[in-house]
């Protein structure tokens, strides 16, 4: 069985092992694959492992021996699943491997805005404290999270984990979900999207991107937010109208935005958020802790093992 990994570098830049995958067949691993290189690399493959390399209908139709596509991510929009199904090709994904890591980055961003620890540490290193007439100083307003309202959009695994951490900080938790949540914790309130944006001190977006919610965070919704509010997005960049958010930040409609995702990744140089006021952007790293990537590797191997043995798991429809 020939196994081809099209874009393995993001999952494993060298700090993990491919040994488990190598044991399952003849394995060729590419760090990255350009679109015009994909066919030549997988034309004889039985198994293809991909993260961002697109496997569309035209490509699927041209691959006579392909039997399995493993997506090393939760989202699987890079594969034409219907075309694969018509040809009897199994497609799997990796659900719920990064819940703790994503929720952790949500609060890394929140705490960055609340305390600006790195800025103050750099200030001390540069001699500002040694030359200060007072025992204490701060370069930005310091914020206490206890008592603040945390609004969460999307109450799946990650949204629930964010709520749990926020509750531990003493925050009031409100949330909105596209379907009714029946097992709501007693101290949390399910409410409308408008209420989330108008009442929250911090809004955390943790929902998937669907055709119905593309750019739902727009000027109209942003104008409902408090001027002191923080917007966090670790979901998908396409959930936000980036031009509207840049205008909201630069004009002081909201205080700050913290983003781990953008609509195009890597971003184009003219993305207005790259130069927007109080916009803190990380390069899609919420999933990238070594612990989460090890789980991702382990489940990738388990998924393929399941396909080989006939005990399928994590199959997408």
Are 71 and 208 members of one domain?
A: no
The CATH number of the domain where 40 resides is what?
3.40.50.720
Q: Is residue 225 part of a domain?
A: yes
**Is 200:225 a contact under the CB 8 Å cutoff?**
yes
The answer to whether 236 is a known catalytic residue is yes
Q: Is residue 314 part of a domain?
A: no
Report the C-alpha gap between 213 and 239 in whole angstroms. 6
Candidates 130, 140, 180; CA nearest to 280 is 140
Mean pLDDT over 235-240 rounds to: 96
Quick: pLDDT tens for 179-210: 999 999 889 999 999 999 999 999 999 999 98
The answer to whether 120 is a known catalytic residue is no
| Residues 189/194/195/197 CA torsion (nearest 10 deg) | 100
Are 202 and 65 members of one domain?
A: no
Which sign, positive or negative, has the C-alpha torsion 4, 63, 69, 36?
positive
Instruction: Give the number of other CB atoms < 10 A from CB of residue 93.
Output: 21
Are 103 and 250 members of one domain?
A: yes
Candidates 25, 26, 35, 32; CA nearest to 6 is 32
**Is 257:230 a contact under the CB 8 Å cutoff?**
yes
pLDDT of 225: 98
Q: What are the start-end ranges of the E strands in the chain? A: 2-5, 26-29, 47-50, 68-71, 90-92, 149-153, 172-176, 188-190, 202-205, 230-233, 256-259, 279-281
User: If pLDDT is split at 50, 70 and 90, which confidence band does 276 have?
Assistant: very high
Are 58 and 197 members of one domain?
A: no
Inform me whether the pLDDT recorded for 271 exceeds 90.
yes
Spot the catalytic one: 28, 215, 284, 302: 284
User: If pLDDT is split at 50, 70 and 90, which confidence band does 19 have?
Assistant: very high
Are 297 and 156 members of one domain?
A: no
Inform me whether the pLDDT recorded for 75 exceeds 90.
no
pLDDT of 277: 97
Inform me whether the pLDDT recorded for 89 exceeds 90.
yes
The answer to whether 291 is a known catalytic residue is no
Identify the residue with better confidence: 75 or 92: 92
Spot the catalytic one: 160, 176, 236, 295: 236
Distant-in-sequence, close-in-space partners of 117: CB < 8 Å, separation ≥ 6: 111
| Residues 176/179/183/185 CA torsion (nearest 10 deg) | 0
User: If pLDDT is split at 50, 70 and 90, which confidence band does 304 have?
Assistant: very high
User: If pLDDT is split at 50, 70 and 90, which confidence band does 317 have?
Assistant: confident
Are 185 and 276 members of one domain?
A: yes
Quick: pLDDT tens for 136-157: 999 999 999 999 999 999 999 9
Average pLDDT, the chain: 97
Q: How far is CA 147 from CA 110, 167, 200, in A?
A: 14, 10, 11
Are 25 and 110 members of one domain?
A: no
Inform me whether the pLDDT recorded for 99 exceeds 90.
yes
Inform me whether the pLDDT recorded for 127 exceeds 90.
yes
Spot the catalytic one: 223, 265, 277, 291: 265
User: If pLDDT is split at 50, 70 and 90, which confidence band does 104 have?
Assistant: very high
Mean pLDDT over 56-83 rounds to: 95
pLDDT of 181: 93
Inform me whether the pLDDT recorded for 87 exceeds 90.
yes
pTM: 0.92
Length of the chain: 317
DSSP 225: S
40: domain range? Answer: 2-97+290-309
Report the C-alpha gap between 213 and 226 in whole angstroms. 22
Are 84 and 111 members of one domain?
A: no
If one counts the domains in the chain, the total is 2
Are 83 and 30 members of one domain?
A: yes
Identify the residue with better confidence: 13 or 185: 13
């Amino acid at each position: 069985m020939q196994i081809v990994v099209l874009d393995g570098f993001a999952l494993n830049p060298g700090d993990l092992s491919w040994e488990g995958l190598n044991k399952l067949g003849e394995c060729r691993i590419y760090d990255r694959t350009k679109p015009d290189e994909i066919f030549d690399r997988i034309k004889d493959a039985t198994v293809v492992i991909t993260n961002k390399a697109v496997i569309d209908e035209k490509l699927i139709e041209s691959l006579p021996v392909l039997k399995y596509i493993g997506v090393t991510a939760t989202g699987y929009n890079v594969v034409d699943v219907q075309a694969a199904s018509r040809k009897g090709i199994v497609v799997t994904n990796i659900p719920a491997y990064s819940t703790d890591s994503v929720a952790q980055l949500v609060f890394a961003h929140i705490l960055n805005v609340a305390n600006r620890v790195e800025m103050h540490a750099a200030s001390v290193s540069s001699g500002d404290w040694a030359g200060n007439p007072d025992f204490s100083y701060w370069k930005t307003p310091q914020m206490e999270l206890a008592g603040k309202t945390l609004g969460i959009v999307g109450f799946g695994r990650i949204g629930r984990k964010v709520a749990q951490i926020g509750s531990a900080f003493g925050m009031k938790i409100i949330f909105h979900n596209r379907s009714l949540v029946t097992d709501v914790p007693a101290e949390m309130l399910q409410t409308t999207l408008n209420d989330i944006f108008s009442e929250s001190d911090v809004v955390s977006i943790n929902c998937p991107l669907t055709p119905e919610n593309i750019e739902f965070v727009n000027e109209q919704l942003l104008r409902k937010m408090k001027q002191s509010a923080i917007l966090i997005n670790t979901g998908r960049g396409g959930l936000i109208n980036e031009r509207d958010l840049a205008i909201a930040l630069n004009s002081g409609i909201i205080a700050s935005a913290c983003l781990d995702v953008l609509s195009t990744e890597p971003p184009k140089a003219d993305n207005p958020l790259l130069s927007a006021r109080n916009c803190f952007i990380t390069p899609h790293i919420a999933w990238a802790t070594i612990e989460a990537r090890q789980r991702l590797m382990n489940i990738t191997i388990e998924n393929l093992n399941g396909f080989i043995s006939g005990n399928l798991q994590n199959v997408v429809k």
